Chains A and B, each alone.
Chain A
Amino acid sequence: MSTATLETAPADPPAPRRRSGLLHAAWRHGRTKAGVIIVGLVVVVAIAGPFLSPYSPTEPVGPPNSTGVEESLFGTDGIGRDVFSRFLHGGYTLIGIAVLAALGGVAAGAVIGIVAGYLRGWLDEFLMRTNDMVLAFPQLVLALLVMSIIGPQVWLIVLLIGGSHASRVARVAREATLKVIEQDFIKSAEAIGLPRWRIMATEILPNISSPLLVELGLRITYSVGLIATLSFLGMGLQPPTADWGLMINENRVAVTVQPWAVALPVGAVALLTIGANLITDGLSRASIGIDRGVEE
């Protein structure tokens, strides 16, 4: 070999340590830990709740709107059902729908954003203009409009929330894609004629995973809020289902006599969204740090 005359590095220098991954870096922020604990707590209540609840969530157990009833921790609601049992049953559907809508929205948005950002041209124009139309509706009003006609259905909630997330995620994914494709390793792949779909899947997608993960956190936070708001407005899950948003709707008129029936679900929704947002913020701080190449 003709490299013999060159000064080369010593045979096997120890490799510098790799920067830690996004999750690792995020975990180092105190707020991420706090968020995980809070979310964990609420999720455990929501999942284990139905097995622990003392009464049926839909059967009356005492006089309506009474607190301090014996054998009923937080009293009864407007039609005499046990508040605590309804609270324990009311979480898993909300969380399940929220996560489903967020996952679907982020996945669809990522695909739209990458395709629009990389292929550009008329397809980009078309996708992004369509996106702008969807974005022109406030998420909640769009959902209300459609559901007021078709009626409240779970699949419709997932579709509407997921769909309106998708157009917001698509914007972020497109911006991130544009930053990635400026870099020469994409041109390098094009120069050797790597098929476009493989460039999108193996060169672009792994490099926008950080912003997508941050988006996922953000979208879960918003999903929980939106779905709870829909239920609160009476356009989400329907009675007699036990659901946190619906509980708030049903019991808010009696908030002065029976505050627990409102305070418990509101507290749970607030904690869940706060926790999710703390995690999201930890992720986003970590991702900024990683992008800047600084060790925090």
Chain B
Amino acid sequence: MTRLILQRLFYGLLTLFVVSLVVFLATQALPGDAARAMLGRDATPERLTALREQLNLNDPVAVQYGKWIAGLFVLNLGESFANAMPVAEYLGPRVSSSVALMALAAIVATPIAVAIGAYSALRRDRAADHATSMVTLITAAVPEFAVGILLVLVFATGSLQLFPAVFAGSSEAVLESPEQLVLPVATLVIAVSPPIIRMMRASMIEVLESEYVQQARLKGLPERTVIWRHAAPNAIGPVAQVIAVQLGWLAGGVVAIEFLFRFPGVGMALMDAIDNRDIPVIQAVTLLIAAIYIVVNLLADIVGLAANPKVRVSSR
């Protein structure tokens, strides 16, 4: 058990390292003069020199990477090129807004999705199940930005102007304008829920058809005991993984949603940085998103291991 967890942790760290290498190589160590490529039309000799200095471009690649990585550990992410302030300072409030947005979406989506999935399984092949299946099929297919726009078209334009179409608050206090959060959160909830619903339904059906549930029924246990003691605990295990994967997906999924609603988070910061060719910010945000994604998946793995009595109590 401990060995398995350590092994997972090791692979998680290895993956993080490789991802940081990819981010670094993709942005900075391209063939040719990275500084010139980044500045493009804005390249003046002074700016080129300044950028080369900031990115340590005059050092060998390995040294460049070493300096960059060492900086990460002390939150020295460099200077934002477009905003003329340290990247950490620039991103700080944006990270917390994004985390608030993601957390809200996760808190709303997870219990609802699990409940709908379980209900659907219990009503298998009845009308409610078919309706759920159709709705999840449709919402799973449509890209999240399109879901957001459809929500905007329905709830923010025309006759029903219930919520604002774009976010107008500041990045310091996103939670103070709850009505502005409704559409972005709703979009994310619709986007992350379908796989959780479908997995919960499938897992619950598999467990309900298992021989131990049949045996529990043949023992004459009340249906409530059968479902809550025998079925549900065994059904939730595989779903935990999917939930985690979906929450990890949120980290990347917020980019398009923040862009759509002009929500002041990391996703918006990434899109702005791409527009401005603001390399330090691009590096920091992509690495951050990948790191969240990796860590959440790692947690999912470990939770999955810990929840399985066969692994927890090493056998015989």
Contacts and interface: CB of A to CB of B under 8 A. Distances in A.
Direct A–B contact in complex, judged by CB atoms less than 8 Å apart = yes
Interface string B1-20: 00000000001000110110
Interface string B66-106: 00000000000000000000000000000000000000000
Contact of B26 (A145, A235, A256): A145
Interface string B156-178: 01100000010000000000000
B289 A141 contact: yes
A278 B26 contact: no
B27 interface: yes
B141 A228 contact: no
A277 B141 contact: yes
A269 B18 CA distance: 35
B19 A137 contact: yes
Given A132-B11, A138-B289, A262-B153, A270 B256 contact: no
Contacts of A138: 248-249, 251-253, 289-290, 293
Contacts of B249: 138
B102 to A, nearest CB: 13
A177 interface: no
B115 interface: no
**Most chain B beta-carbon neighbours within 10 Å: one of A129, A132, A262, A266:** A266
Contact of B141 (A132, A149, A274): A274
A136 B19 contact: yes
B146 A266 contact: yes
Given A132-B11, A140-B256, A229 B26 contact: no
Contact of A149 (B30, B140, B145): B30
Interface residues of A, number: 41
B61 interface: no
A233 B259 contact: yes
A287 to B, nearest CB: 14
B188 to A, nearest CB: 14
B142 A225 contact: yes
A228 B143 contact: yes
A116 to B, nearest CB: 16
B157 A225 contact: no
A145 B23 contact: yes
B165 A266 contact: no
24 contacts: A129-B11, A133-B15, A133-B22, A136-B297, A137-B19, A137-B22, A140-B256, A141-B286, A148-B273, A221-B141, A225-B141, A228-B146, A232-B256, A232-B260, A233-B256, A234-B271, A248-B145, A252-B149, A255-B165, A262-B149, A270-B141, A270-B142, A273-B146, A274-B137
A255 B277 CA distance: 28
A170 interface: no
Given A138-B289, A270-B141, A273-B141, 10 more contacts: A31-B134, A133-B15, A136-B290, A148-B274, A221-B141, A233-B256, A255-B149, A255-B165, A270-B142, A273-B146
Interface of A: 31, 129, 132-133, 136-141, 144-146, 148-149, 221, 224-226, 228-229, 232-235, 248, 252, 255-256, 259, 262-263, 266, 269-270, 273-274, 276-278, 281
A266 B27 contact: no
Given A140-B255, A149-B30, A221-B141, A266 B149 contact: yes
A133 B153 contact: no
B255 A233 contact: yes
Contacts of B293: 136-138
**Most chain B beta-carbon neighbours within 10 Å: one of A137, A274, A276:** A137
Question: A-B pairs with the 5 shortest C-beta distances?
Answer: A138-B252, A225-B143, A277-B141, A273-B141, A148-B274
Contacts of B252: 137-141
A31 B131 CA distance: 12
Given A225-B142, A269-B146, A255 B152 contact: yes
Given A141-B255, A232-B256, A256-B157, A133 B18 contact: yes
Contacts of A278: 137, 141
B255 A235 contact: no
B270 interface: yes
Contacts of A129: 11
B15 A136 contact: yes
Given A138-B253, A228-B143, A255-B157, A145 B149 contact: no
B138 interface: yes
Interface string B249-265: 10111011001100000
A31 B150 contact: no
Given A136-B293, A277-B137, A259 B253 contact: no
Nearest to A253: B166
Nearest to A133: B18
B158 A259 contact: yes
A277 B140 contact: yes
B138 A266 contact: no
A233 B271 contact: yes
Nearest to B249: A138
Contact of A229 (B138, B145, B248, B277): B145
B143 A269 contact: yes
